[in-house]
Structure 1
């Protein structure tokens, strides 16, 4: 006698929204919007709104496909076990169809309503996040965040290309800022959720190379990130408003990173410095990108 598998209750809109990783999407949309607003040209509000919508949908598609592929991993991690798939509120096929459909729609709409350059970069960003980072890098190498950081660095390029139809030095620097920001940001998180990654078999740097190496790498990448953040000012691509804010906020980031990079922990450590760096790193990126837009508008 064959026992039929229990049917899952139908997922509601909140589960599909959760698939898109709204918190991650907010940062993606913001950096994409700033990349657009920092351009020297004026973009029609309707086209600009459409471009930002496409960036949001593309990011949501990448998040959904990431959760579809990593459903088994998410099930054993405390940080992710309540997501729709591991919690049993949605089947994997629905997540796959939703992600593919959302991604295809975002790229097609960007190409038809905005321009081909922005659509091409959007397509590359989705494929990079899903195929290069999620499928290839994350389960195989502790450098997953370093190389995979490029996936989250595309939005400023997309926003700039949506307004101008091309890519110049400033958006490349914005790409570099997010790319170099990602390792210290994510490794700070990895330090205080290391057990989760170890249980899931994900070779994050603290799991594979140890805490000391991870802290050292946080310090090194913070230095590289700081150089990229400040660079637009001496290169004449941003003014003193941006320069002053970039120096002040980066100095505080550097101080927090120095504490994390040089400290040792005990078994009962609360990891407060690591959590403080992780939380500030999110605010930091918002401030730096907002400062660039304000600086360009004042100029």
Structure 2
């Protein structure tokens, strides 16, 4: 059994340090840096769905609605995980831990953001986009945060599905339906998430262990973790090549070269662990961010340039 939520009478002592302003504290609840990466995958999906540059208004509405939906999920995650955040060095400065936002206010804030995001996407894009975004929000909160995270080392594998939805939402906003390229992009993000997050979890293994969260590096050996990271990295790069039929050489060139760089770093991490050498998993973590962002930028550029597709 993993760490249980704290009772109202057993709150940790407030964290010392400089407090944020009210607006900054509520903004921090939404985890803006996480939202940035989600939005980076949304725009290229819209470009590819349009096979060109989509309506600026539609892009803005989809980004605003998507950001609000992701912010809602993150705020509700902060409410549910405040006990975990309080004992982890990486998260102990979050607003609820520092008492910068009352727990009840954070809950209401998260719910309101989710409701408004549904309305924005429905009115500004279409009903399907709104439903998909809300489904991702609910999955992240009720399946990942409340069930998987505290109970299984596969938490981030299946819970990461929520972070894959922005590409599908973007595609649906443009076309009003979900087609196979959107599912391939979903697959790319889905397969990319474990090596991205497990490399971070290797760095903060002790944090997760102290919080009672069974992230893979806590319950498996470093060699097992690095082997799975490498396997998922290969699967990610392989999945990116499934977009070849709907893209040109611009995308394919980066998918091959960028994928090779990603695999080299993943292989080096595994080799270092296997040989008992000192490792720096954060190198893969930071590279994985750049790799995914640039891969989707390549998708957008490819679609905007309008070169003949290879398929």
Give the TM-score of the pair, scaled to structure 1.
0.92
Matched, 1:292 2:302: no
Whole-Å separation in 1 of the counterparts to 2:299 and 2:124: 27
Asked if 1:148 corresponds to 2:148, the answer is no
Looking at structure 2, the residues matched to 267 and 85 of structure 1 have their Cα atoms a distance apart, in angstroms, of 39
Matched with 1:282 is 289
1:97-176 to 2 correspondences below 5 Å: 97-176=108-187
Partner of residue 58 from structure 2, selected from 17, 42, 47: 47
CA distance in 1, matches of 2:165, 2:151: 23
User: Aligned partners of 2:151, 2:134: CA distance in 1, in Å?
Assistant: 24
Q: Distance in 2 between matches of 1:183 and 1:77?
A: 20
1:179-258 paired onto structure 2 within 5 Å: 179-233=190-244, 236-258=245-267
- Structure 1: which 5+ residue stretches go unaligned? none
The question of whether the paired residues in 1 share the 8 Å contact of 2:43 and 2:300 is answered with no
**2:5 aligned partner:** none
| TM-score, normalising length: structure 2 | 0.89
Q: C-alpha separation between the residues in 2 aligned to 1:189 and 1:10?
A: 26
Unaligned runs of 5+ in 2: 1-10
Is 1:259 the counterpart of 2:272 in the alignment? no
* Mapping for residues 48-67 of structure 1, pairs under 5 Å: 48-67=59-78
Say which is worse superposed, 61-70 or 84-93, in terms of deviation. 84-93
From the superposition, tell whether residues 107 and 255 of structure 1 become closer, same or farther in structure 2 (CA, over 3 Å): same
With over 3 angstroms needed to count, the CA separation of the structure-2 counterparts of 1:103 and 1:21, relative to structure 1, is same
C-alpha contact 1:11 1:90 (8 A) present in aligned 2: no
Within 2, Cα distance between the matches of 1:173 and 1:196? Answer: 34
> Which has the higher relative contact order, 1 or 2, with Cα contacts under 8 A spaced 6 or more apart?
2
Q: Is 259-268 or 278-287 further displaced after alignment? A: 259-268
Q: CA RMSD in A?
A: 2.0
Which secondary structure state, in structure 2, belongs to the residue aligned with residue 39 of structure 1? helix
Mapped partners of 1:230, 1:194: distance in 2: 33
Whole-angstrom distance in 2 between the partners of 1:264 and 1:228: 26
Kindly state the Cα deviation for residue 267 of structure 1 after the two structures are TM-superposed. Answer: 10
Report how many aligned residue pairs link the two structures.
289
Whole-Å separation in 2 of the counterparts to 1:98 and 1:266: 49
Matched residue, 2:6: none
